Structure 1
Amino acid sequence: MRIGIVGVAGRMGQAILREIAATSGAVLAGGSERPGSPLAGRDPGELAGIGPTGVKIVDDPALLFTNVDAVIDFSTPAVVAHNAALAAQAKAAYIVGITGLESEHLEALKKCAHHTVIVQSYNMSLGVNLMAGLVRQMAATLGEDWDIEIVEMHHRMKVDAPSGTAIMLGEAAAQGRGVLLEKVADRGRDGITGARRKGNIGFAALRGGNVIGEHTVIFAADNERIEITHKAADRAMFAKGAVRAALWAKGKPSGLYRMSDVLGLSG
């Protein structure tokens, strides 16, 4: 499987590169950085500390999607629509782990998924996807007498809040209750807010240090509370899931898929 990486010189890009190098059946076929990057022409393997790969970094995304079977993208929402269109044109699978996506980005992915395989997930770890399934089941079983709060913490440099994973967990809880998350989400409390509205799903975002990612879903009722927590200790877990998704995509019909499909957790 010939795999390209958007943002190959970044922390996630290098983690993905190391995972590709360690995975049988996967090979690095390309890597890109932003237009005008001084890293263009460099070998990404040397930056990642694994030695030469024979691949040169490009600063034009159109070149990345040439002669690859899949492209993994953990970069920024601003490039999603353009890269999805390139993937559709090249018939290359597009693996999207970007957070902070808005409705227009998701619509662009849905449109391009008519022409190629797109796997989009805010979190590609097995543990988080299992957690989401459990949250969905618990929300359906416990009902509105149990308040749901989602607390997440990330490093000080993270630019979006709440995190994509927190939203993913909130969507799982909302699905369990048979409601739309945007109708019940409470993303911020400040000042005299009044009593908590029954049925709402609350979010709290913490930022500090170099925390890779911690998420807790709290189910709180009178006299008892259930908490489910996932803590990420290394970005390698996300890289492992992304490469697994790229390998899974080979031979699949065009469509928009989730990590739960890759892991066999859907349905």
Structure 2
Amino acid sequence: MLKIAVNGALGRMGARILQLACHSQDFGVAAAFEHPGHAMLGKDLGAALGLGESLKVKIAPLSAKAMKPAEVVIDFSNAEGALQCLRQALRARKALVIGTTGIGAAGCEEIQEASGVIPVLFSPNMSVGANFLFEVARLAAARLKAGYDIEIIEAHHRLKKDAPSGTARKIAEVIARERGWDLGEVAKYGREGFTGERPKDEIGIHVIRAGDIVGEHTVMFSGPGETIELKHTALSRDAFAKGALVAAQFLSKKKPGLYSISDLLKS
């Protein structure tokens, strides 16, 4: 049984990860963290998750000391919370799965540096299908070159705070790398007004925020007389939650280093 701790325990993703872990014989919950001032701090996790039974785990503020009983820590909080979790995991020498998006360049450098000491799996999308989409998009970018324009459209629920999604950014990065492009030069985030003719070397990236859409990503390769669409749709958060738990199992057996879901799929 793998003992896990979750930061952002009562967020949409954190709560679902913990619910699945509690109903699995493969996982034990060692700790659950929330930000200082959260109304549920000190409460029993089982009650907070609506499980109808005590888990004998109290919701606590994030700390290296409280991480000690866990083998792997999973973070689904926010950009600032993820980096705080990274620092505490580094102090506690605990493997860390980061599924949080919206982390900037400086934060990514900090993650890279920490991975020299602890195992870190950092992925903008924990679902197997979405990570397969990265590879298919890369293949399409390699094969469909002359005359094919590339557009990425992503849709999420109205409460999502960062845009475009980490997954959309990752798709764009994969395509740009395959084409030998600098993403900063070719990315076009939406269009408005008199934009003129579309440049040949451009990746359009567009964002929808509406309702309770879990997550949709579409990659279009549009050429003369035809359009190819690659699409991944998450039907529930279980796709991400189950992926995070599988990632924790994978990471528990790894030496220090920076890993992704792609590494898991290759193992």
Q: Shorter-normalised TM-score: what interval?
A: over 0.9
Aligned to 1:9: 10
Distance 1:39 1:61 in 2: 17
Aligned to 2:263: 261
SS in 2 for 1:58: strand
Contact 1:154 / 1:208 at 8 angstroms: preserved in 2? yes
Aligned to 1:171: 173
Mapping 1:117-136, distance limit 5 Å:
117-136=119-138
Distance 1:59 1:91 in 2: 18
How does the TM-score come out when normalised to structure 2? 0.95
Mapping 1:55-204, distance limit 5 Å:
55-204=57-206
Alpha carbons of structure 1 residues 10 and 235: separation in structure 2 relative to 1, 3 Å: same
Aligned to 2:219: 217
Q: Which amino acid aligns with 1:74?
A: F
Higher mean C-alpha deviation, range 34-43 or range 96-105: 34-43
Distance 2:71 2:39 in 1: 26
Task: Give the deviation of 1:81 after TM superposition.
Answer: 2.5
Identity %: 38
Contact 1:138 / 1:176 at 8 angstroms: preserved in 2? no
Task: Give the deviation of 1:172 after TM superposition.
Answer: 1.8
How does the TM-score come out when normalised to structure 1? 0.95
SS in 2 for 1:28: strand
C-alpha distance after superposition, 1:132-167 (max 9, x if no partner): 100001101111521110001111111111111111
Task: Give the deviation of 1:8 after TM superposition.
Answer: 0.8
Q: Which amino acid aligns with 1:218?
A: M
Aligned to 2:48: 47
Higher mean C-alpha deviation, range 238-247 or range 187-196: 187-196
Contact 1:80 / 1:105 at 8 angstroms: preserved in 2? no
Distance 1:136 1:175 in 2: 9
Distance 2:146 2:183 in 1: 14
C-alpha distance after superposition, 1:112-151 (max 9, x if no partner): 1010010000101011011110000110111152111000
Q: Which amino acid aligns with 1:70?
A: V
Distance 2:146 2:78 in 1: 36
Specify which of 237, 241, 244 is matched with residue 242 of structure 1. 244
Aligned to 2:34: 33
Alpha carbons of structure 1 residues 202 and 144: separation in structure 2 relative to 1, 3 Å: farther
The unaligned stretches of length 5 or more in structure 2 are none
The unaligned stretches of length 5 or more in structure 1 are none
Deviating beyond 4 angstroms after TM superposition, the runs of 4 or more aligned structure 1 residues are none
Distance 1:219 1:64 in 2: 48
Contact 1:70 / 1:94 at 8 angstroms: preserved in 2? yes
SS in 2 for 1:110: helix
C-alpha distance after superposition, 1:213-253 (max 9, x if no partner): 11100000011100011111111110100011111011311
Distance 2:208 2:242 in 1: 26
